[in-house]
Amino acid sequence: MAFLSLLFMSSCFLTLSGLTFGDQSGKPVIVKEGDYAILPCSLGTNENIEFMRFEWKKEGTEEEVYIYDNGVGYSPALPGRVSHFRDDLKHGNASIRINNVQLEDKGNYTCNFPNRGKTFRIKLVVEPILKVRNVSGAAELYVTSHDQINGGVLLQCDVKNAHPKPTVEWQDSNNEIIPSEEPQVSKQGDRFYITLKATVKKSGRYRCVAKQEEINHQAQKEIYVYIYGKPVIVKEGDDAILPCSLDTNIEFVMFEWTKEGTEKKHGDASITIKNTKVTDTGKYICSFPHLQPQRKAEIFLLVGECHHKTLIIL
């Protein structure tokens, strides 16, 4: 990566490929967690340093962040995450790039040229993002769904063992918040337990999201709902087709059909029951046991009568 410009005044800025990074005399480098950070360093003489040694260290740690010596660079402290700009060494650029920056990477760094007796200092600031974190008090989520008589599906999100208290919401596949009931909140010790319910009447993916900004934790669980408005109704002796489908290629996906109270039957997507009898009436379940998240379809077959039922795929 070539320098587009190199300007030295009372404070020195390095500009690489049109991007200006924090200066060596004190301005911090600020990045978001998970991004990469470029820590600038140069002798300021524009001389070739391909065969010169330089060392990067983080204050308060023992292992070097990066060592370059006579054509070879390596990172004892952050193996696989730090690199230098090889093509720019001939221009005096000793900057390094830290990939996948973590919160613990924040701090003060020094760039040292031991053969010249020169050391430069730069501060790295890492701004946290909300993500799943394995820390004490991180919210645990569980989602379920329940059939509703009015043709909708009741979604239930249970948040457990959370501290501090999280904000909880249901979202659709467009990341839009959907209307929910008033959350039910209880507390055991310093841990919060929250139940949030929402009724949906459209097929699609829905997710429950819990955020705890104090500990930078965000967890979510997704559920897929498919709603059919009518049951399958046939006369006794007729054939009945029970529909079951997904919005993806199912050529090599295993299905299982079950009638409540009977053994499982294996089949492919929709099935036909020939010469139906009144005793065939009941709820049938088409499940996809090897898909993640797991899905199932429930459909009510009524033989010889008139009825109404909602089909749900979870």
Q: What is the pLDDT of residue 129?
A: 97
Q: What is the pLDDT of residue 269?
A: 59
Domains annotated on the chain, with CATH: 3-127 (2.60.40.10), 140-226 (2.60.40.10), 229-313 (2.60.40.10)
Q: What is the pLDDT of residue 305?
A: 45
Q: Using only C-alpha atoms, what is the Rg of the chain? A: 30
Q: What is the pLDDT of residue 14?
A: 36
Cα gap 283→306, rounded to integer Å: 15
Q: What is the pLDDT of residue 95?
A: 97
Strand order in the sheet with 184-188: 140-147, 153-162, 191-200, 184-188
* Cβ(20)–Cβ(75) below 8 Å: no
Kindly report whether the global pTM for this prediction surpasses the value 0.75.
no
Q: How many CB atoms lie under 10 A from the CB of residue 116? A: 13
Along the chain (314 residues), what's the average pLDDT of each consecutive run of 10 residues?
34 33 65 97 90 96 95 96 96 96 96 93 96 96 82 91 97 94 96 96 90 96 77 85 75 76 53 85 79 71 54 38
Q: Give the H or E element holding residue 143.
A: strand 140-147
Angle among Cα 154, 159, 164 to the nearest 5 degrees reads 145
Q: What is the pLDDT of residue 23?
A: 43
CA pseudo-torsion sign 230, 236, 239, 242:
positive
